[in-house]
């Protein structure tokens, strides 16, 4: 069975599932170079079909994530939408949401989405819709692939199909929803609106508030936390759905409300108070869900769970036996969740067990061979020079051990908002000055934002405090660090000494593992600083041409490009 999964909203993406095996997944932004691009991912669909060797007419099903999908919006349009949420036009639209006009609009939108798929040569009859939070839950449940045990599956994001959060139990390949929270109560909307009020881009820069939170003084953090906590409560001691208190507007319309709430509060107080509020709400929700279901193995998905600090506290709950957080768990992963759900439904309807394997490594994009890379290098001749060393891993490790910053482009690209070594910028994590070097070279990150370490899986125990032994291959969990943290000083949060690691296994990425092993041989250290290979505000590079463009336009000097070591010439310096 060949299933195309499609998310045609914010952070648009596609994937291809063949007989239950995920053969390709790609975000549209990687191909059209527009960050967080929204709309039908035409290029990503074509790329997934190409990688899978499947023609559009050969597809058995197309799984569209979301029963309703708003019209696409650019970054500028999203900013304008947030500005307008307190205006008269938005208030009128809010009143119309409860009448038949909304139903008519959604039906027309569904027809448009099916027609857009059919225009690609795919029969419209093969298109089905998977409800937004069911797609998130499916990504978490089937992505974990644990069908022998009951799994508590929680989803939480801004909004989708009228909801912001759900609680389900996965059992023997099926998902049964036991609770849901309407979008009017969305914690994700509160975080996004606060991001906007603090002068940043909602649905994109929330991580900056999370990064600032540890720096705020306790008194200021607690003041803002109490103000936010007073806006929400729980109906009773056992309910699984929180609610707004009287006087708190639906969270999408909180621009004026939150602006008044935060007035005269410092930026760091607001960031810390908001983070504390989010953490405590999520922790309480997880506790309640475990108490209600008796299920202690927990899987999470939805954009709110991109918050690695909240994930850390959830993992540390004594009630939580085991935790799986879907990597890059924003809406882009709903393409995967929708495809997995359609496959699982077909298996269950036929009376057969669900056979979907766990997600595994996230290297699901294209791989570019030496011939394509050599052509790109030839086109860049004059701005770069290159050699083909006997071992690109050994040569890159030698440069890193000498204190150089090296970009790495190798193998298949990673899916989603995570650089897991194949499209990464690397540096010696024991050198705190590497943070400033990389920021000045290319990243232009806010000074308080930590980088992340890639650590040899066999060395994680040297650096991470992980009493439950949770696998951490995706940079979606964070941990306290041991006294050996100095080896990773530039890649951990300097204030609270936590790390958001990628544990690198030899079978998951042998080339990257080999580089880390050679670096370990030279230095005795088991980890490197790893950050995404992109210029600030642009998507992670996808092609050799993208990689060379970033090399030329940034302060980078070295690039391990497939089997080649590339160095920018004096004429190519910026």
pLDDT digits (tens, 9 = 90+) for 154-204: 999 999 999 999 999 999 999 999 999 999 999 999 999 999 999 999 999
Number of CB atoms found within 10 A of residue 321's CB: 14
**Per-residue pLDDT at 574 exceeds 50:** no
Q: Give CATH for domain 370-572.
A: 3.90.870.20
Q: With bands split at pLDDT 50, 70 and 90, how would you rate the model's confidence at 573? A: low
Average pLDDT, integer, range 447-451: 84
The confidence score (pLDDT) of residue 97 equals 60
* Chosen CATH of 146-326 out of 3.10.105.10, 3.30.420.40, 2.60.120.10, 3.40.1110.10: 3.30.420.40
**Per-residue pLDDT at 241 exceeds 80:** yes
- Do 268 and 246 contact (CB within 8 A), yes or no? no
Average pLDDT, integer, range 228-242: 96
63 beta partners: 5, 128
Range 2-65+68-73+89-130+335-349 has CATH code 3.30.40.10: no
pLDDT digits (tens, 9 = 90+) for 355-374: 999 999 999 999 999 999 99
**Cα–Cα distance between 506 and 198 in angstroms, integer?**
42
pTM score, two decimals? 0.95
Spatial CA neighbour of 151 closest among 139, 140, 163:
140
Pairing of strands 13-18, 564-568: unpaired
Q: With bands split at pLDDT 50, 70 and 90, how would you rate the model's confidence at 94? A: low
Query: Token digits for 202?
Result: 């909602």
**Cα–Cα distance between 169 and 13 in angstroms, integer?**
26
pLDDT digits (tens, 9 = 90+) for 103-153: 888 999 999 999 999 999 999 999 999 999 999 999 999 999 999 999 999
The confidence score (pLDDT) of residue 89 equals 65
Spatial CA neighbour of 336 closest among 316, 359, 307:
359
Q: What does each C-alpha distance from 366 to 58, 409, 556 come to in angstroms?
A: 21, 12, 24
Query: Token digits for 7?
Result: 């998310």
First to last CA, the chain: 50
**Per-residue pLDDT at 529 exceeds 70:** yes
pLDDT digits (tens, 9 = 90+) for 482-525: 999 999 999 999 889 999 999 999 999 999 999 999 999 999 99
Average pLDDT, integer, range 519-547: 96
pLDDT digits (tens, 9 = 90+) for 311-359: 999 999 999 999 999 999 999 999 999 999 999 999 999 999 999 999 9
- DSSP letter string, 139-182: HHHHHHT--SS-EEEEEEEEEETTEEEEEEEEETTEEEEEEEEE
Q: Using CA of residue 396, residue 397, residue 400, residue 405, what is the dihedral sign?
A: positive
The confidence score (pLDDT) of residue 93 equals 64
**Per-residue pLDDT at 88 exceeds 80:** no
The confidence score (pLDDT) of residue 95 equals 62
CA angle 133, 135, 136 (to 5 degrees): 65
Burial call 256-272: b when 16+ CB within 10 Å, e when fewer? ebbeebbeeeeebbbbb
Q: What 3-state DSSP class applies to 522?
A: helix
- The phi, psi pair for 194, rounded to 5°, reads -65, -40
**Average per-residue pLDDT in the chain?**
95
Q: Do domains 2-65+68-73+89-130+335-349 and 146-326 have the same CATH topology?
A: yes
**Per-residue pLDDT at 17 exceeds 80:** yes
155 beta partners: 166, 301
- Do 180 and 165 contact (CB within 8 A), yes or no? yes
Domains of the chain, residue spans: 2-65+68-73+89-130+335-349, 146-326, 370-572
- DSSP letter string, 337-381: HHHHHHHHHHHHHTT----PPP----B-S----HHHHHHHHHHTB
pLDDT digits (tens, 9 = 90+) for 396-438: 999 999 999 999 999 999 999 989 999 999 999 999 999 888 9
Higher local confidence (pLDDT), 314 or 80: 314
- Do 190 and 206 contact (CB within 8 A), yes or no? no
CA angle 173, 175, 180 (to 5 degrees): 165
């Amino acid at each position: 069975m060949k299933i195309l999964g499609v998310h045609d909203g914010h952070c648009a993406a596609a994937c291809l599932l063949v007989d239950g095996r995920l053969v390709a997944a790609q975000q549209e932004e990687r191909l059209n170079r527009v960050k967080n691009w929204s709309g039908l991912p035409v290029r990503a669909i074509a790329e997934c079909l190409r990688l899978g060797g499947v023609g559009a007419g050969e597809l058995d099903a197309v799984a569209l994530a979301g029963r309703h999908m708003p019209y696409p919006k650019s970054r500028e349009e999203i900013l304008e939408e947030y500005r307008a949420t307190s205006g008269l036009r938005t208030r009128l639209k809010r009143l119309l949401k409860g009448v038949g006009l909304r139903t008519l609009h959604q039906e027309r939108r569904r027809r448009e989405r099916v027609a857009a798929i059919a225009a690609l040569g795919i029969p419209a009859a093969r298109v089905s819709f998977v409800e937004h939070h069911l797609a998130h839950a499916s990504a978490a449940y089937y992505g974990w692939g644990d069908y022998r045990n009951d799994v508590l599956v929680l989803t939480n994001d801004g909004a989708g199909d009228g909801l912001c959060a759900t609680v389900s139990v996965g059992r023997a390949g099926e998902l049964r929803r036991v609770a849901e929270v309407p979008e009017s109560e969305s914690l994700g909307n509160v975080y996004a609106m606060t991001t906007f009020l603090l002068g940043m881009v909602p649905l994109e820069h929330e991580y900056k508030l999370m990064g600032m939170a540890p720096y705020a003084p306790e008194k200021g953090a607690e003041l803002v936390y109490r103000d936010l906590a007073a806006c929400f409560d729980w109906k009773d001691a056992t309910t699984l759905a929180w609610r707004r208190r009287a006087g708190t507007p639906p969270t999408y319309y909180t621009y004026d409300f939150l602006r008044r709430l935060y007035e005269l509060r410092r930026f760091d107080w607001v960031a810390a108070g908001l983070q504390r509020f989010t953490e405590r709400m999520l922790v309480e929700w997880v506790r309640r869900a475990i108490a209600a279901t008796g299920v202690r193995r927990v899987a999470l998905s939805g954009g709110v769970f991109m918050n690695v600090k909240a994930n850390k506290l959830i993992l540390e709950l004594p009630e939580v036996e085991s935790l799986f957080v879907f990597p890059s768990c924003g809406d882009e992963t709903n393409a995967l969740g929708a495809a997995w759900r359609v496959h699982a439904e077909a298996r269950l309807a036929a009376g057969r067990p669900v056979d979907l394997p766990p997600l595994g490594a996230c290297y699901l994009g294209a791989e570019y061979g030496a011939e394509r890379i050599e052509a790109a290098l030839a086109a860049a001749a004059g701005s770069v020079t290159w050699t083909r060393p006997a071992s690109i891993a050994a040569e890159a490790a030698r440069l890193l051990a000498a204190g150089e910053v090296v970009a790495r482009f190798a193998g298949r690209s990673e899916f989603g908002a995570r650089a897991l070594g194949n499209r990464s910028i690397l540096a010696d994590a024991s050198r705190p000055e590497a943070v400033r070097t990389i920021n000045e070279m290319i990243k232009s990150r806010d000074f308080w934002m930590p980088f992340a370490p890639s650590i040899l899986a066999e060395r994680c125990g040297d650096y991470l405090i992980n009493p439950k032994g949770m696998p951490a291959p995706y940079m979606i969990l964070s941990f306290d660090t041991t006294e050996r943290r100095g080896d990773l000083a530039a890649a951990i949060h300097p204030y609270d000494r936590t790390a958001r690691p990628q544990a690198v296994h030899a079978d998951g990425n042998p080339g990257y593992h080999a580089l880390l092993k050679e670096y370990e041989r030279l230095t005795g250290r088991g980890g490197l600083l790893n950050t995404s290979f992109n210029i600030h505000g642009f998507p992670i590079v996808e092609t050799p041409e993208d990689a060379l463009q970033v090399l030329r336009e940034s302060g980078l000097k070295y690039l391990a490009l497939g089997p080649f070591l590339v160095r920018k010439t004096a004429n190519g310096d910026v």
